[in-house]
Protein backbone atom coordinates (compact mmCIF):
# COMPACT_ATOMS: atom_id res chain seq x y z
CA UNK A 1 0.00 0.00 0.00
CA UNK A 2 1.41 3.29 -1.08
CA UNK A 3 0.82 6.48 1.00
CA UNK A 4 1.50 10.07 -0.07
CA UNK A 5 3.57 12.21 2.28
CA UNK A 6 3.23 16.00 2.61
CA UNK A 7 6.51 17.86 2.51
CA UNK A 8 7.65 19.03 5.91
CA UNK A 9 8.32 22.76 6.35
CA UNK A 10 11.93 23.67 6.32
CA UNK A 11 13.73 24.36 9.55
CA UNK A 12 14.29 27.99 8.55
CA UNK A 13 10.64 28.55 7.79
CA UNK A 14 9.62 27.01 11.06
CA UNK A 15 11.88 29.32 13.02
CA UNK A 16 10.89 32.55 11.19
CA UNK A 17 8.70 34.73 13.48
CA UNK A 18 5.35 35.81 12.17
CA UNK A 19 4.60 39.53 11.88
CA UNK A 20 1.46 40.55 13.61
CA UNK A 21 -0.91 42.08 11.14
CA UNK A 22 -2.28 45.59 11.86
CA UNK A 23 -5.94 45.74 12.48
CA UNK A 24 -7.96 48.22 10.40
CA UNK A 25 -8.77 50.21 13.56
CA UNK A 26 -5.10 50.60 14.52
CA UNK A 27 -4.23 51.64 10.98
CA UNK A 28 -6.93 54.29 10.96
CA UNK A 29 -5.66 55.73 14.26
CA UNK A 30 -2.11 55.95 12.95
CA UNK A 31 -3.20 57.73 9.79
CA UNK A 32 -5.38 60.13 11.78
CA UNK A 33 -2.52 61.04 14.12
CA UNK A 34 -0.24 61.76 11.17
CA UNK A 35 -2.82 63.99 9.53
CA UNK A 36 -3.38 65.85 12.83
CA UNK A 37 0.33 66.56 13.21
CA UNK A 38 0.52 67.86 9.64
CA UNK A 39 -2.48 70.12 10.29
CA UNK A 40 -0.83 71.68 13.36
CA UNK A 41 2.35 72.33 11.38
CA UNK A 42 0.31 74.03 8.68
CA UNK A 43 -1.55 76.23 11.18
CA UNK A 44 1.63 77.48 12.84
CA UNK A 45 3.23 78.02 9.45
CA UNK A 46 0.50 80.43 8.34
CA UNK A 47 -0.25 82.10 11.71
CA UNK A 48 -0.08 85.92 11.44
CA UNK A 49 2.85 87.68 13.15
CA UNK A 50 2.28 89.38 16.49
CA UNK A 51 1.31 93.06 16.38
CA UNK A 52 4.35 95.22 17.26
CA UNK A 53 4.19 97.45 20.32
CA UNK A 54 4.06 101.24 20.17
CA UNK A 55 7.83 101.58 19.79
CA UNK A 56 7.84 99.04 16.96
CA UNK A 57 4.93 100.75 15.19
CA UNK A 58 6.65 104.10 15.59
CA UNK A 59 9.85 102.75 14.03
CA UNK A 60 7.86 101.46 11.06
CA UNK A 61 6.08 104.81 10.71
CA UNK A 62 9.37 106.77 10.77
CA UNK A 63 10.94 104.45 8.19
CA UNK A 64 7.99 104.98 5.86
CA UNK A 65 7.92 108.76 6.34
CA UNK A 66 11.53 109.97 6.09
CA UNK A 67 12.07 113.70 6.17
CA UNK A 68 14.37 115.06 3.48
CA UNK A 69 15.28 118.51 2.16
CA UNK A 70 16.55 119.09 -1.36
CA UNK A 71 18.00 122.39 -2.52
CA UNK A 72 18.55 123.14 -6.20
CA UNK A 73 22.15 123.78 -7.21
CA UNK A 74 20.92 126.81 -9.13
CA UNK A 75 19.95 128.63 -5.94
CA UNK A 76 22.28 131.53 -5.14
CA UNK A 77 22.65 133.26 -1.79
CA UNK A 78 22.38 137.04 -1.81
CA UNK A 79 22.33 139.66 0.88
CA UNK A 80 19.14 141.65 1.05
CA UNK A 81 17.28 144.05 3.24
CA UNK A 82 14.36 142.71 5.25
CA UNK A 83 11.16 144.54 6.00
CA UNK A 84 10.40 145.21 9.62
CA UNK A 85 8.06 142.83 11.37
CA UNK A 86 6.65 142.10 14.79
CA UNK A 87 5.31 138.95 16.40
CA UNK A 88 3.49 138.00 19.56
CA UNK A 89 5.25 135.42 21.72
CA UNK A 90 3.73 132.00 21.40
CA UNK A 91 3.34 131.60 25.14
CA UNK A 92 1.51 134.90 25.51
CA UNK A 93 -0.86 134.32 22.61
CA UNK A 94 -1.73 130.80 23.73
CA UNK A 95 -2.28 131.94 27.31
CA UNK A 96 -4.50 134.73 26.06
CA UNK A 97 -6.61 132.19 24.16
CA UNK A 98 -6.97 130.22 27.38
CA UNK A 99 -8.59 126.98 26.18
CA UNK A 100 -7.70 123.33 26.63
CA UNK A 101 -6.51 123.29 23.02
CA UNK A 102 -4.28 126.28 23.75
CA UNK A 103 -2.75 124.46 26.70
CA UNK A 104 -2.13 121.36 24.55
CA UNK A 105 -0.29 123.54 22.02
CA UNK A 106 1.64 125.16 24.87
CA UNK A 107 2.93 121.72 25.94
CA UNK A 108 4.04 121.11 22.34
CA UNK A 109 5.74 124.52 22.26
CA UNK A 110 7.50 123.85 25.56
CA UNK A 111 8.78 120.50 24.35
CA UNK A 112 9.82 121.73 20.92
CA UNK A 113 7.31 119.43 19.19
CA UNK A 114 5.05 120.27 16.25
CA UNK A 115 1.70 121.77 17.12
CA UNK A 116 0.13 119.37 14.64
CA UNK A 117 -3.46 118.22 14.66
CA UNK A 118 -2.40 114.69 15.66
CA UNK A 119 -0.28 115.88 18.60
CA UNK A 120 -2.88 118.34 19.89
CA UNK A 121 -5.65 115.76 19.54
CA UNK A 122 -3.74 113.25 21.65
CA UNK A 123 -2.96 115.87 24.28
CA UNK A 124 -6.55 117.08 24.77
CA UNK A 125 -7.72 113.46 24.98
CA UNK A 126 -5.02 112.81 27.57
CA UNK A 127 -6.16 115.83 29.59
CA UNK A 128 -9.74 114.54 29.46
CA UNK A 129 -8.63 111.17 30.84
CA UNK A 130 -6.91 112.86 33.77
CA UNK A 131 -9.29 115.65 34.85
CA UNK A 132 -12.26 115.57 32.52
CA UNK A 133 -13.08 118.36 30.10
CA UNK A 134 -15.34 120.62 32.15
CA UNK A 135 -12.56 121.26 34.72
CA UNK A 136 -9.47 120.29 32.76
CA UNK A 137 -7.43 123.00 34.58
CA UNK A 138 -8.06 121.40 38.01
CA UNK A 139 -5.29 122.42 40.46
CA UNK A 140 -3.52 124.02 37.47
CA UNK A 141 -2.34 120.50 36.69
CA UNK A 142 -4.21 119.18 33.60
CA UNK A 143 -2.16 115.97 33.35
CA UNK A 144 -1.87 115.32 37.11
CA UNK A 145 1.88 115.63 36.73
CA UNK A 146 3.89 114.95 39.86
CA UNK A 147 7.12 116.54 38.60
CA UNK A 148 7.64 119.91 40.27
CA UNK A 149 4.08 120.14 41.56
CA UNK A 150 4.72 119.10 45.13
CA UNK A 151 2.69 115.94 44.75
CA UNK A 152 4.55 112.80 43.78
CA UNK A 153 1.34 110.98 42.94
CA UNK A 154 0.20 113.75 40.62
CA UNK A 155 -2.04 115.45 43.20
CA UNK A 156 0.10 118.58 43.46
CA UNK A 157 -0.53 121.93 41.82
CA UNK A 158 1.33 124.67 39.93
CA UNK A 159 1.17 128.43 40.26
CA UNK A 160 -0.30 128.76 36.78
CA UNK A 161 -1.05 126.78 33.63
CA UNK A 162 1.99 128.10 31.77
CA UNK A 163 4.32 126.53 34.33
CA UNK A 164 2.20 123.37 34.22
CA UNK A 165 2.76 123.04 30.47
CA UNK A 166 6.50 123.54 30.86
CA UNK A 167 6.72 120.95 33.64
CA UNK A 168 4.69 118.42 31.63
CA UNK A 169 7.09 118.72 28.69
CA UNK A 170 10.13 118.56 30.99
CA UNK A 171 8.87 115.42 32.73
CA UNK A 172 8.29 113.65 29.42
CA UNK A 173 11.78 114.56 28.22
CA UNK A 174 13.69 113.79 31.42
CA UNK A 175 12.30 110.30 32.08
CA UNK A 176 13.51 107.48 29.77
CA UNK A 177 10.24 105.65 30.41
CA UNK A 178 8.49 108.28 28.30
CA UNK A 179 10.96 108.18 25.41
CA UNK A 180 8.50 106.57 22.98
CA UNK A 181 5.91 109.26 23.71
CA UNK A 182 8.49 111.97 23.06
CA UNK A 183 9.60 110.31 19.82
CA UNK A 184 5.99 110.04 18.66
CA UNK A 185 5.33 113.73 19.36
CA UNK A 186 8.54 114.67 17.55
CA UNK A 187 7.36 113.14 14.26
CA UNK A 188 3.63 113.86 14.71
CA UNK A 189 2.89 110.14 14.64
CA UNK A 190 -0.69 108.95 14.08
CA UNK A 191 -2.81 109.32 17.21
CA UNK A 192 -3.15 105.58 17.77
CA UNK A 193 0.63 105.11 17.95
CA UNK A 194 1.18 107.98 20.38
CA UNK A 195 -1.73 106.87 22.54
CA UNK A 196 -0.42 103.30 22.73
CA UNK A 197 2.91 104.73 23.90
CA UNK A 198 1.08 106.61 26.66
CA UNK A 199 -0.81 103.49 27.77
CA UNK A 200 2.38 101.44 27.90
CA UNK A 201 4.24 104.08 29.92
CA UNK A 202 4.16 104.38 33.73
CA UNK A 203 2.42 107.78 33.62
CA UNK A 204 -0.75 106.18 34.98
CA UNK A 205 -0.55 103.09 37.17
CA UNK A 206 -3.77 101.84 35.56
CA UNK A 207 -2.27 102.25 32.06
CA UNK A 208 -5.77 103.47 31.18
CA UNK A 209 -6.87 99.86 30.96
CA UNK A 210 -4.44 99.44 28.05
CA UNK A 211 -6.78 101.64 26.06
CA UNK A 212 -10.07 100.10 27.17
CA UNK A 213 -10.83 103.21 29.28
CA UNK A 214 -9.44 105.70 26.77
CA UNK A 215 -11.99 107.73 24.78
CA UNK A 216 -11.32 108.85 21.21
CA UNK A 217 -14.43 110.97 20.66
CA UNK A 218 -13.96 114.64 19.85
CA UNK A 219 -13.10 116.92 22.77
CA UNK A 220 -15.01 120.22 23.08
CA UNK A 221 -13.08 123.44 23.45
CA UNK A 222 -13.35 124.80 26.99
CA UNK A 223 -11.76 127.93 28.43
CA UNK A 224 -10.08 128.02 31.82
CA UNK A 225 -10.45 131.02 34.17
CA UNK A 226 -8.09 133.84 33.21
CA UNK A 227 -6.69 133.84 36.76
CA UNK A 228 -5.25 130.34 36.22
CA UNK A 229 -2.99 131.55 33.43
How do the domains of the chain map onto residue ranges? Answer: 90-207
Successive 10-residue mean pLDDT values, the chain, 229 residues = 50 51 52 49 42 67 62 54 52 92 97 97 98 96 94 86 97 96 97 96 94 95 96
Q: What pLDDT shows up at residue 78? A: 57
How much is the pLDDT for 89? 46
Residue 83 contacts by C-beta under 8 Å, 6 or more apart in sequence? Answer: none
Q: What is the pLDDT of residue 228?
A: 96
Query: What per-residue confidence (pLDDT) applies to 60?
Result: 72
pTM of the model: 0.67
pLDDT number for residue 31: 47
Amino acid sequence: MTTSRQPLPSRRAALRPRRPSRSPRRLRLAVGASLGALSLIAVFAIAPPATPDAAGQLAVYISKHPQTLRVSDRVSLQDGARDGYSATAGVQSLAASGTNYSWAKLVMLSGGWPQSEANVTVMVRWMRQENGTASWWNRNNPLNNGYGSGGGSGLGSYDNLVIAAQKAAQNLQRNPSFATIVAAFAVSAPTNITEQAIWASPWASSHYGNGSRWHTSSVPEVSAPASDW
